[in-house]
Structure 1
């Protein structure tokens, strides 16, 4: 078993040609810094929810999943055997509401990633239609992901692939957002990653529509014009932001027990609300 890459949350191993094993840890990162305190069971929730979404979205775009069972016993429940692909060097983000960096950008320019938006929107506003707001895919040791315009994506990867990335990302967002709204959850925004197979086919990779890669709000609590109550990793981001004593550079601060437990509870609640399945500590 060869370790190919150790990410902020996931580790990638190889034991067969053309395949990798993606292992989700309990690590949590904010502002590209891995915090010293894990969230127990987080890796299993992310893996199980991603597998559920891969099934739900497979008719829109193929994905990299081979098996969640053909993995070493020590990682069972938080690992997926996947096809090895060349990852497209763009973080593909879809937004349906103004939040986070999107809200910051709108305040500065009335636009997000070069997409002009109507005047008069407030924090938490629902956008007239979902928008594609990609970013660079920058290794943490080299800096932070930076917003890209669609034209910059086309220049980087070519117009045909840029159009496919944009259109597929928005189709995935619309499908997931519609399904979640039926369950009383708003999909605020989400980040997806794509890879290319040797024949050039674009497939969905990494994780998909999880509390790590997305913002979730309870529909019943949505109130534009203020910071929303988040049901995702924003719980930890808000805690870190409100500290006022951390400059967002390593080493990160230890996460207090109450934030750990709240984050864990939120992840499990979102798994159950979205899938309609009771959470099992054994994972899927």
Structure 2
């Protein structure tokens, strides 16, 4: 598979604070790369750099060989806190990206219902965000991101604001959607279990400034299911990631307290 996203010697600083430095990372087409690390290690900053929302102080990001210097066509972002327009109903929220791209009316009328149905929101097209549960709002956000048919999907802790049961349902729904239409995906999460379940590779960030400590091949084939959570390989990888992060996580918690 070809490299879709290439991060080379990337660094971000805010004044005297270096968030991360010397980051080298590739995301191949039809691959999910999960990013984990302790709080404050720059996971979201790295993701924002890939989408062009945070400017690098050093290094480069390219998508399909083209340098990223700002918001990039073909790249969609799913936020932690839904990011829906409260005055727009589900249909118009999902259609927003397509309208921004000035897609033909016929294409909008074809794709919006398709993706609303894909995420399980058929029948809720006219509902406003406040009329939806948190899980349903995130489904709408996911449909909006997918409707523009991106080549790269970036997900910033997309299920962290949702209760545990709904979170697990959405994890497997996301895998089902990706397995039917695989694209390059970068998935930022605080959850080690989620990182291993979703990812083909898990990138572990550590240190101050942050750097890539290890990249782990998950080695679990798709499609994945709840049985994946019980597999010896899943248990092995999650235990290994936790061992890598344990000291940094404890140190970060002490700083906060």
Give your verdict on TM over 0.5. no
Instruction: Report the TM-score when normalising by structure 1.
Output: 0.27
Instruction: Report the TM-score when normalising by structure 2.
Output: 0.29
User: By percentage of residues, which structure has more helix?
Assistant: 2
Higher relative contact order (CA 8 A, sep 6+): 2
